[in-house]
Amino acid sequence: MNLEFKRLTAVDSQDIIALNNHPEVLRQMPLGRPDFDEAKAKEWVRQKDAQWDEHGYGPWAFFIDNEFAGWGGLQHEDGDADLALVLHPRSWGSGKAIYEEIVKRAFTDMGLGSITILLPFSRTRLKGIARLGFQADGEVEFDGVRFQRFRLYGGAARSV
């Protein structure tokens, strides 16, 4: 597997639209809506990419063997670097390798002290999160949806 991390601006907007409207992907994204069109995609990419200039980190586009596989990485959320990982269902088996690369970059290349993940309360299988070293760290709400926040400290990161 040849894995590449690129800026979201390198992705054809139709690929982003298809991913963010995919029914199986939307089931995992409580804030997602099946009306993600060209105008929304352009603004979404602009906002996501601006995080690189504002915070020194932001989401990437993931390419596997030169094919767009999804997006994610670190997003600025209320002062935290929050890990997101949204993959096309055909690439779900690649999540482990992508996660490990994101964590390596966060703690080694970027020198972050901790990262967070936000999971909706509908996600009840949380043992894997603990195995990775994440600790419960409160709750947050976005657009009326409550999320559980988990935090991973640099020295606590474990492989998948």
How far CA 76 is from CA of 57, 115, 130, 148, in Å, comes to 8, 10, 22, 16
pLDDT digits (tens, 9 = 90+) for 20-68: 998 878 777 666 677 889 999 999 999 999 999 999 999 999 999 999 9
The model's pTM is 0.88
pLDDT at 126 over 90: no
The confidence score (pLDDT) of residue 136 equals 95
Pair 153, 114: CB distance under 8 Å: yes
pLDDT at 75 over 90: yes
Give the span between the Cα atoms of 100 and 29, in whole angstroms.
21
Domains of the chain, CATH where assigned: 3-156 (3.40.630.30)
pLDDT digits (tens, 9 = 90+) for 92-101: 999 999 999 9
